[in-house]
């Protein structure tokens, strides 16, 4: 392999042993506690877990946007060969403006309510590329079409409040992708939308990411969302990744009892009329984690071995496949 080919094969993002903690009066909240994963160029990774598992803080850590007193206290985040955890603020801001962008659940967090959509979009383009107003407007129009917005000329002249929630989110996604960033971190952007709109947007984003070669980290609490979207899945629980693999591996032959529990609580996978099985108990309080496996108090397979912290056990010959469990399910490959 030539040196350039080797560089191309190098993952775009390598997160290794990331720990992001929040000191509070009651103790240290270990929101992210030893997270490792990597992402190749153009790849779509689903980051899945219940509320409070540390998905958003993982995303904010990568973007350098953790609110103090929260702080990355250990681990490394290497983006295209550059260590982000020690990158000066100004360089990090440039990276966020040009090569990494984020989409959040509430599009109004990123859209300016008093600016017309055409201005918001062309400003984003012109801040990045000196292409002139006319070409910027043409690109903005094209970007709206690509996220499924019909009659874009009319839409460009509108203000954000004149759009439905689904349309606003489409605009926010169009803006996040308009400068063809290498990486987009999407934090539950379709969670508030109805299922049909959500499905359309997922499909459009996937197509767009494939076309532009943009890598995506798609954060969601909903396993059904990643099914048709992601190449690979990481399942998070209590600040850690407990299972990872290709989407087919994780959804069709989960190794971790928590993933199994999540799958069993998805309606579509159950026969009509069958009762859904919920995972018993609640996600653990961030300051009240049990010793050993954090899933221990809810796990049907727990035994005395689980009082010891299970390491991530990889699969020989397949470093991207693994589970953090002493007794992985035997239908695992
Ligand atoms: N500012 C903060 N101060 C203290 N704890 C926080 C703060 N922000 C998040 N956390 C805690 O970090 C954990 C992970 O949060 P988060 O990443 O938002 O979860 P998710 O996105 O998976 O729902 C939660 O236990 C949450 O309570
Ligand atoms: S380590 Fe034990 S408690 Fe944890 S998921 Fe595996 S079997 Fe369950
Ligand atoms: Mg979140």
Confidence tier at 286 by pLDDT (50, 70, 90): confident
Report yes or no on 259 lying in a domain: no
Please report the pLDDT score of residue 142 as a whole number.
Answer: 93
Percent of the chain exceeding pLDDT 70 equals: 93
Report whether 79 contacts 12 (CB < 8 A). Answer: yes
Query: Distance, CA 31 to ligand 1 centroid (Å)?
Result: 6
Q: Which atom of ligand 2 is nearest to the CA of 328?
A: 6
Q: Is 299 close to ligand 2, i.e. is its CB under 6 Å away?
A: yes
Give the whole-angstrom CA distance, residue 220 versus residue 60. Answer: 14
Report yes or no on 274 lying in a domain: no
Q: Is 310 close to ligand 1, i.e. is its CB under 6 Å away?
A: no
Query: Distance, CA 85 to ligand 1 centroid (Å)?
Result: 19
pLDDT at 330 over 80: no
| Closest listed ligand to the CA of 292 | 2
pLDDT at 310 over 70: yes
CATH code of the domain covering residue 188: 3.40.50.300
Confidence tier at 197 by pLDDT (50, 70, 90): confident
CB neighbour burial string for 182-207, b if at least 16 within 10 angstroms, e if fewer: bbbbbbbbbeebeeebbbbbbebbbe
pLDDT at 247 over 50: yes
Which of 228-232, 240-244, 263-267, 299-303 has the lowest average pLDDT?
Answer: 263-267
What is the pTM (predicted TM-score) of this model?
Answer: 0.93
Report yes or no on 95 lying in a domain: yes
Q: Tell me the mean pLDDT in the region 160-187.
A: 92
Nearest protein Cα to ligand 2, atom 6: 325
Domain that holds residue 220: 11-99+181-242
pLDDT at 77 over 90: yes
Report yes or no on 296 lying in a domain: no
pLDDT at 277 over 90: no
Confidence tier at 73 by pLDDT (50, 70, 90): very high
Report yes or no on 174 lying in a domain: no
What is the number of structural domains in the chain?
A: 1
Give the whole-angstrom CA distance, residue 88 versus residue 85. Answer: 9
Report whether 194 contacts 153 (CB < 8 A). Answer: no
Please report the pLDDT score of residue 273 as a whole number.
Answer: 60
Confidence tier at 113 by pLDDT (50, 70, 90): very high
Give the whole-angstrom CA distance, residue 48 versus residue 62. Answer: 16
Sheet with 82-83, side-by-side order of all strands: 27-39, 13-24, 71-79, 82-83
Please report the pLDDT score of residue 332 as a whole number.
Answer: 45
Q: What is the mean pLDDT of the chain?
A: 91
Query: Helix-strand-coil percent breakdown of the chain, rounded to 5?
Result: 35, 25, 40
- Identify the burial level of 71 via C-beta atoms within 10 angstroms of its C-beta, where 0-12 means exposed, 13-18 middle and 19 or more buried: middle
Q: Which atom of ligand 2 is nearest to the CA of 296?
A: 3
Query: Distance, CA 326 to ligand 2 centroid (Å)?
Result: 6
Please report the pLDDT score of residue 275 as a whole number.
Answer: 62
Q: Three-state DSSP class for 320? A: strand
Q: Is 24 close to ligand 1, i.e. is its CB under 6 Å away?
A: yes
Q: Is 240 close to ligand 2, i.e. is its CB under 6 Å away?
A: no
């Amino acid at each position: 392999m030539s040196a350039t080919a080797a560089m191309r094969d190098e993952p775009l993002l390598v997160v290794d042993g990331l720990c992001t903690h929040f000191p509070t009066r009651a103790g240290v909240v270990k929101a992210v506690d030893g997270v490792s994963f990597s992402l190749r160029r153009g790849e779509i990774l689903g980051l899945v877990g219940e509320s409070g598992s540390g998905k958003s803080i993982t995303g904010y850590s990568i973007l350098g946007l953790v609110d103090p007193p929260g702080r990355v206290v250990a681990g490394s985040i290497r983006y295209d060969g550059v260590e982000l955890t020690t990158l000066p603020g100004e360089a990090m801001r440039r990276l966020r403006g040009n090569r990494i962008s984020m989409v959040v659940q509430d599009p109004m967090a990123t859209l300016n309510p008093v600016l017309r959509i055409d201005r918001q979009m062309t400003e984003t383009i012109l801040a990045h590329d000196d292409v002139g107003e006319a070409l910027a407007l043409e690109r903005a129009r094209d970007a709206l079409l690509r996220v499924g917005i019909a009659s874009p000329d009319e839409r460009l002249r509108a203000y954000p409040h004149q759009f439905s929630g689904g349309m606003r989110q489409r605009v926010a996604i169009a803006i996040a992708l308009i400068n063809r960033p290498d990486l987009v971190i999407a934090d539950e952007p379709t969670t508030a939308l109805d299922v049909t709109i959500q499905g359309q947007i997922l499909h459009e984003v996937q197509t767009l990411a494939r076309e532009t070669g943009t890598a995506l980290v798609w954060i969601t609490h909903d396993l059904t969302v990643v099914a048709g979207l992601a190449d690979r899945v990481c399942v998070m629980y209590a600040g850690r990744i407990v299972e990872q693999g290709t989407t087919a591996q994780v959804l069709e032959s989960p190794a971790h009892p928590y993933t199994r529990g999540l799958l069993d609580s998805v309606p579509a996978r159950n026969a009509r009329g069958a009762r859904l099985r919920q995972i018993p108990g609640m996600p653990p309080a961030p300051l009240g984690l049990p010793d050993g496996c954090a899933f221990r108090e809810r796990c049907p397979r727990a035994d005395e071995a689980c009082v010891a912290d299970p390491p991530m056990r990889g699969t020989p010959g397949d470093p991207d496949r693994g589970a953090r469990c002493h007794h992985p399910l035997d239908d695992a490959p």
